[in-house]
Amino acid sequence: MTKNILLLAGDGIGPEVVAEAVRVLKWVGAHAGTSFHFDEALIGGSAYDAVGTPFPAETLSKAKAADAILLGAVGGPKWESLDYSVRPERGLLGIRKELDLFANLRPAMCFAPLADASSLKPEIISGLDIMIVRELTGDIYFGQPRGVTMENSHRVGRNTMVYADWEVQRIARIALDLARVRGKKLCSVDKANVLEATEMWREEVQKIRDAEYTDIELSHMYVDNAAMQLVRAPKQFDVMVTGNIFGDILSDCAAMLTGSLGMLPSASLGSETGGKRAALYEPVHGSAPDITGRGIANPVATILSAAMMLRYSFNLHAQAKLVEDAINAVLADGLRTGDIMQAGARHVGTKEMGDAILAKLDTLSSTQRGAA
Ligand code: IPM
Ligand code: MG
């Protein structure tokens, strides 16, 4: 069976890291007997430069047709002074909205060989494995009214936090389903002491839990406390669910606990219709303009995003696990890109890291065959 994967390499280091993930996907395709067909399209600043918009119509139609999308990164200083409506970030927000990719899964796990790379003490983060579920198509990111207007000779800036009950319910179900196959614990994060929209969020999440998921232990936490708890004792969490803006902030915080933003993948999923679910996979890190084109970016987050694609879009669970194991083994061998460099480790570039992961896939799969 052929699976169509759309590559949106984007800006900065995007193309460099996507190239390594494609090599890994090709390896998996060849070994799993699944044929992956790759297509490419423009997004972000590079799309703006080429065709005058960060989110071309052709990209949207290719995205709708694809079985899964792999995105590199968008943005960079070159485009920061552009009008808001054509900034690279609009490409990313546009594709999330158009494909209704409302469920953003951001795992934060600590790779054992990197426990020392965190700014927190190793005992606080070793074995860490959190899943942050961020609602991605609502909230202050998209709410109306918005914008800057003149009112009584003063500039007034306005954005609006909006959620409808059905939006909360559908993200709550995604998070509760994940909790069910993990540690059966969900923490919903809000600011219900101040914001009515999030008080409603809290009530709706609780309703869904009480009606359909009584096997899951649900707790609620204010976002300020959640930020504090994440750095104080992150292992108390299993699955966390929250809205778009709180999730944006908390997921960067959780990511950094693990030592490097360059290590973390994400999946953005839509609802299932006719047996198909729109899905976009991307590293949590950005376009890293400071190191673009030098061949030194860490491709691991993008390769892990490809592993999430194998798991969530193609049901290739064993293959996803194999890719994750290969990455762990390469780290255990002491290979490090600059962002996770440690004393005594071997410093490698983007492509060398990709080579090492492919070589490890060969070794691990032949050992597995040998054992079978
Ligand atoms: C993220 C990013 C985006 C967001 C930006 C680039 C629009 O920070 O994916 O977390 O705010 O959602
Ligand atoms: Mg962010």
Question: Do residues 75 and 137 both lie within one domain?
Answer: no
Measured in Å, residue 160 CA sits from the centre of ligand 1 at: 17
Helix (H, G, I), strand (E, B) or coil at 136: coil
Question: Do residues 103 and 171 both lie within one domain?
Answer: no
Question: Do residues 264 and 354 both lie within one domain?
Answer: yes
From the CA of 89, give the closest atom in ligand 1.
Answer: 7
Range of the domain at 321: 1-108+260-372
Question: Do residues 150 and 246 both lie within one domain?
Answer: yes
Q: Are 286 and 277 in contact (CB under 8 A)?
A: no
- Asked if the structure places residue 116 within a domain, the reply is no
- Asked if the structure places residue 62 within a domain, the reply is yes
- Atom 12, ligand 1: residue with shortest CA distance: 248
pLDDT at 149 > cutoff 70: yes
pLDDT tens by residue, 6-48: 999 999 999 999 999 999 999 999 998 899 999 999 999 999 9
Measured in Å, residue 195 CA sits from the centre of ligand 2 at: 22
Q: What is the mean pLDDT of the chain?
A: 95
Q: What is the CATH number of the domain that holds 98?
A: 3.40.718.10
Question: Do residues 135 and 253 both lie within one domain?
Answer: yes
Question: Do residues 247 and 292 both lie within one domain?
Answer: no
Q: Is the minimum distance from the CB of 92 to ligand 1 under 6 angstroms?
A: yes
pLDDT at 272 > cutoff 60: yes
Question: Do residues 251 and 269 both lie within one domain?
Answer: no
CA distance 345 to 330: 11
Measured in Å, residue 252 CA sits from the centre of ligand 2 at: 6
- Asked if the structure places residue 117 within a domain, the reply is no
Question: Do residues 352 and 270 both lie within one domain?
Answer: yes
Residue 68 confidence (pLDDT): 98
Please say which residue of 207, 226, 257 terminates a domain: 257
From the CA of 248, give the closest atom in ligand 1.
Answer: 10
Residue 246 confidence (pLDDT): 98
Residue 275 confidence (pLDDT): 80
CA triplet 157, 162, 166: central angle to 5 degrees? 165
CA distance 134 to 157: 25
Residue 115 confidence (pLDDT): 83
Please say which residue of 227, 242, 257 terminates a domain: 257
- Asked if the structure places residue 195 within a domain, the reply is yes
- Atom 2, ligand 1: residue with shortest CA distance: 248
Question: Do residues 331 and 363 both lie within one domain?
Answer: yes
- Asked if the structure places residue 289 within a domain, the reply is yes
- Asked if the structure places residue 22 within a domain, the reply is yes
Percent of the chain with pLDDT over 90: 85
Task: Give residue 154's pLDDT band: very low, low, confident or very high (50, 70, 90).
Answer: very high
Please say which residue of 213, 240, 257 terminates a domain: 257
Residue 59 confidence (pLDDT): 98
- Asked if the structure places residue 118 within a domain, the reply is no
Measured from the alpha carbon of residue 104, the closest ligand is: 1
- Asked if the structure places residue 123 within a domain, the reply is no
Q: Give catalytic residues, as residue numbers.
A: 141, 191, 224, 248, 252
Residue 345 confidence (pLDDT): 93
What domain count does the chain have? Answer: 2
pLDDT tens by residue, 287-342: 999 999 999 999 999 999 999 999 999 999 999 999 999 999 999 999 999 998 88
Task: Give residue 104's pLDDT band: very low, low, confident or very high (50, 70, 90).
Answer: very high
Q: Which of 140, 248, 287 to mutate to test ligand 1, by most ligand atoms within 8 A of the CB atom?
A: 248
How many C-alpha atoms does 300 have within 13 Å on its Cβ side? 28
Question: Do residues 137 and 221 both lie within one domain?
Answer: yes
